[in-house]
Structure 1
C-alpha cells in the first residue's frame, strides 16, 4: 500500500480546493481565540502581550485571523466559479496559508520582540493580501462583463487599512482606530458577497417551492441601486467615524446606513421561500447589520449607552453568522455533499444569534458575566461546526470528483 499523504502534502485531500485549509483555519481560530478571550474575561487568563493591550489583540485576531482566513477561502473558491475559470493550484494556496500562520505567530510575539515581530506580522498580512490580489485580479479583469471587480477594490481597501494599522503600531501608536475601519471594510465586503450568494440560495428556494406547487414564481433579484446605496452609507459612516469618532455626523450616517440596509432587505421579501433555513439565515445577517448601525447611531446621538453595543452586533453577529453560513454552504456543496437536512446547522446559527444579543446586552447589564457567556456561545457554535465539517475537509470528495466543482452525480 502507498503511504498515506501527510496533511502538509499537496496530495492530501485538505488541498483539493482553496476553501478547505482556509475554512478549517477559520473554524479552529474562531473557537480557540474566543475561548482564550472568554478565559481572560471570566478567569483572568493571560493573553499575548501586544501593542494596545488585550482588546487590540482580541480585535486584531478576530478580524485579521478568523475573518481574513474565511475571506481568503471564499474568494479563492468563488472567483473561479463566478468567472468560469479553473480552480487555483494548491501550491500558491499553501503559500498563502503559511503567510496567515506567520502573521498569527509574529503578532502574538510582538509584545516581547516589538519592532521585528510587528514588521514580520505586517509583511505576512500584506503578503497574503497581495498574493490574493495577484491570483484574483487577472481573472476578475478578463471576465467579459467585469461584474465582480468589486472584490478586487475591497481587497485593495483592506490592504491599505492593514498597512496603515501596522504603520501606527510600529510608531508606538495604538492601532485601534484602524481596527474600527477594518470592521467597515468587512461590512462592505459582506454586502458585496451576499449579493452573489443570495442570488443562488434564494432563487433555489423559490424554484423548489414553484416545482412543488406547479406554478411559476417571480425570481429574486439583488438590485444594484439598493446595494450601492448601502455601500455608500457604510463608507461615509466609516470615514466620518475615523475623522471625528462619536460626532453627530457619525450618528446620523450610522442611521442612514441602517435605513439603507433595511431598504436592501426589501429585495428579499419573496414570501414563503424566504422562510427556509438558508435564505432566512442570510436574511438575518443583513438584519443584524442594520441593527448594529442603528444602535451605533442611537448611542452616538443620545448618549444613552455605548456605541460598542452596535459595534459588537456587527462583529459578533454579522461577521460570525455570515462566515458560519458561507462555510456550511460552500463547504458541503463543493465537497460533493448535500447541505440540507443537517439539524446542527440552525442550532449553531441560534447560538451565534444569542451570543450577539448577549454581547449587546453586556453594555446594559452584568458586563463581565454576559461578555463571557457570549464568548462561550460563539465558540460553541464554531466548535459544533468544526466537529461536523473538519472531517469533510480532511477526506476526499464524497462524490469521487476532484477540485472545487459543485455536487456531481454519476
Structure 2
C-alpha cells in the first residue's frame, strides 16, 4: 500500500506567480501538522507555567486539569487526525481532493475552539462547544462520502471512530455545562483515540515494515497486520473504556484493562520480524503499541491492587502511544508527500526517545513509590515533551511550508 495521496491544485496570484506560502495549501496535512506541533509547544509551555506558579491558573469550567487533558486530546491530537484523514482517506478511496476552502474552514473552527475554551470563564462553554463540535461534524461529513462510496468499504472504521468522537465530545461539553464529571468523558475519548491508532497503524505498518523487509531481504513472506488480532484489541479496549465510564474503579474494569494489555501484546507478535524491528520505521510504531500495553497494564494493576494509577496509565497512553503515533505519521507522510524522501538523520530517533522518556517520567510521577519526586518528574517530562516537538519543528518547517523539491505536484509521493 502506497501513500500516493491525491493531487491538490496550485495556488497563484495575478501574473501566474506562486502565492506566498502557497505550498502550505497543497495538502491538508501541511497546515494541520504544523498546527499539531505548535499546539503541543504552546499548550505544554502554558501548562508548565501554571504548574510552576509563573502563570496564574485560568478560570475555566472544569478546572485547569480538565483543560490540559482536553487540549492534549482534542486540540493537539485532533489537528493531527484531521490532517491525516483528510489526506489519507482521499488516497485510500481514490476520490477527489479536499478543496483548500474546506481546509481553511476546518482550521478556523479548530483554532476558534482552542481560543473559546480559554475564554470560557468569561463567555461560557457554549461557544467552545459549538466550534469544537462543528469541527468534528464538518470533518466527518467531508470524509463520509468517500468512505461510504468506496465499493469495498474497507475503511469505515475511521467513520465510526469519528462518530464516536463527536458523541463523546458532545457529552464532555454537556458535563461541563451541567458542572458534572467532564473528566469521565475525556477518559472515554482516550479509548477512542487508542482504537483509532490501531486502525491507522494497521494500514501504515504494512507499508513501513514491508519496505524495511524488502530492503534487508531474507523474509519469504510479507508482514501482515492480521485482522483477528487487531479486532480483538479494538474490542478489548472498547470494553474496558465502557466499563471505566460506567463502573469507575471497579475490579471488572481492572480485569478488562489487563485484557486490553494482553491483547496488545498478542498483536505485537505480528511485529517480531527479526532485525528489521531495530529500524526506526518499524521500531517507533512498535513502541507505540508497547506504551499502549504498558498503559493499560498499569491501570489494570492499580485497580486490582487498590492503588489509583489511572493518571499514570493514561499518561502512558497519551504522552506515549498517542504522541509517538503522531510523530511517526507526521515524519513519514509529512515528508514523502511534500516531495522529500524519508529522513534518515538522527533527529527522529532523538525525538522519539524524548517522547518515550516524557511518557515514562510522567507515568512514574503517578506511582506511589515516586511521590516525593513528583514535581521534578512532572517538570522533566514536560521539558522532554517540548524538546521533541521543538526538534520536529526545526526539521519539518521548511518541508511542510516550503515548495516541493522534486518537481511533483500536490500530495503525490516523492518522485524517485
Q: Above 0.5 in TM-score?
A: yes
Q: Confirm or deny: 8 A CA contact 1:202 1:279 kept in the other structure.
A: yes
1:242 is aligned to 245
**TM-score (normalizing by structure 1):** 0.94
Distance across 1 between alignment mates of 2:405 and 2:96: 20
Q: Confirm or deny: 8 A CA contact 1:42 1:369 kept in the other structure.
A: no
Q: For 1:347, which of 329, 347, 350 is the aligned residue?
A: 350
Alignment of 1:9-408 (within 5 A): 12-114=22-124, 118-210=125-217, 217-304=220-307, 306-363=309-366, 364-365=369-370, 366-408=373-415
Q: Confirm or deny: 8 A CA contact 2:213 2:219 kept in the other structure.
A: no
User: Offset at 1:367?
Assistant: 0.8
Distance across 2 between alignment mates of 1:216 and 1:378: 36
Q: Confirm or deny: 8 A CA contact 1:48 1:57 kept in the other structure.
A: no
Superposed CA RMSD: 1.5
1:5 is aligned to 19
Q: Confirm or deny: 8 A CA contact 1:206 1:217 kept in the other structure.
A: no
User: Offset at 1:391?
Assistant: 1.7
Q: Confirm or deny: 8 A CA contact 1:226 1:264 kept in the other structure.
A: yes
User: Offset at 1:396?
Assistant: 1.2
Distance across 1 between alignment mates of 2:214 and 2:337: 21
Question: For residues 250-302 of structure 1, what are the alpha-carbon distances to aligned partners after superposition, in whole Å with 9 as ceiling and x for unaligned?
Answer: 00000000000000111111112222111100000001100000000001100
Question: For residues 127-177 of structure 1, what are the alpha-carbon distances to aligned partners after superposition, in whole Å with 9 as ceiling and x for unaligned?
Answer: 111111111111111112110000000000000001111111122224111
The number of residues matched between the two structures is: 398
Distance across 2 between alignment mates of 1:375 and 1:290: 22
Distance across 2 between alignment mates of 1:305 and 1:136: 39
Specify the SS of the correspondent of 2:122. coil
Specify the SS of the correspondent of 1:405. coil
Q: Confirm or deny: 8 A CA contact 1:51 1:174 kept in the other structure.
A: no
Distance across 2 between alignment mates of 1:340 and 1:5: 28
Distance across 1 between alignment mates of 2:273 and 2:284: 15
Q: Confirm or deny: 8 A CA contact 1:285 1:322 kept in the other structure.
A: yes
User: Offset at 1:87?
Assistant: 2.4
Change (3 A) 1:347 1:191: same
Specify the SS of the correspondent of 1:341. coil
User: Offset at 1:224?
Assistant: 0.6
User: Offset at 1:4?
Assistant: 6.5
Q: What residue ranges of structure 2 are gaps of 5+ in the alignment?
A: 1-13
Q: Confirm or deny: 8 A CA contact 1:199 1:220 kept in the other structure.
A: yes
Distance across 2 between alignment mates of 1:341 and 1:267: 25
User: Offset at 1:362?
Assistant: 1.0
